[in-house]
Amino acid sequence: MKKLLLMAAVAVFGFTNVNAQEDKESSNALTEGSWLVEANTGFGGGATSAAHRSNTSFGLTAVDGVTIWSIGGEAGYFIKDDLALKVGLGYNDFDGASTFTYKLGAKYYVASQFPVQIDVTGASGDDVFGEESPLWLGIQGGYAWFVADNISIEPGLRYNLSLNEDFTDEGVLELNIGFALHF
């Protein structure tokens, strides 16, 4: 009797798992005409991170006694299956001096599971960058773990390459964890 119950439980679990996979594959989270709203956390960058606070993520950093915090978000529209055009906005505080950041880019989900993103991020702010308005080229890759049909957690690795040699010629490597809602 115990073996029969165990076999029945395994069969039900297997059938449920197969149906869940089919539902996941037929999900419209990444299809043309859908939207995504995303919030990211950023880790890394070290001392260079202080120079690169032109981001649209949530963060809190202390470098050499200076506290830097940021808040922001991103949104995207899928122009094709797995391909979204994105915009982002953020606000950053450098120990009392503030910056406004923006991001324009594209995100493509390889095999509907591995997001690859390329974007341009810029910043402006009083008394933070001087005469410069820094621009960064961002390249990011990761993994999309769909915890529900319309919710994904997306850990990834990002490299920001400075496009302003007068501002800084250093790149910044970051680890991001993104949380996305798909509509």
Question: What residue spans define the domains of the chain?
Answer: 28-182
Task: State pLDDT tens for residues 97-109.
Answer: 788 899 999 999 9
Q: Answer for the pair 129, 107: CB distance below 8 angstroms, yes or no.
A: no
For 133-171, where are the E strands, in sequence order? 135-142, 145-148, 151-162
Identify the pLDDT of residue 48.
44
Q: d(Cα 103, Cα 88) in Å, to the nearest integer? A: 5
**What's the first-to-final CA gap in the chain, in angstroms?**
46
Mean pLDDT rounded to a whole number for the chain? 80
Identify the pLDDT of residue 180.
96
Residue 67 has pLDDT above 70, yes or no: yes
| CATH fold group of domain 28-182 | Porin (2.40.160)
pTM to 2 decimal places? 0.77
Helix (H), strand (E) at residue 131: none
Average pLDDT score over residue span 34-51: 71
Identify the pLDDT of residue 162.
86
Average pLDDT score over residue span 148-156: 95
- Provide the 3-class DSSP secondary structure of residue 20: helix
How big is the CA angle at 174 (ends 113 and 45), to the nearest 5 degrees? Answer: 180
Identify the pLDDT of residue 69.
85
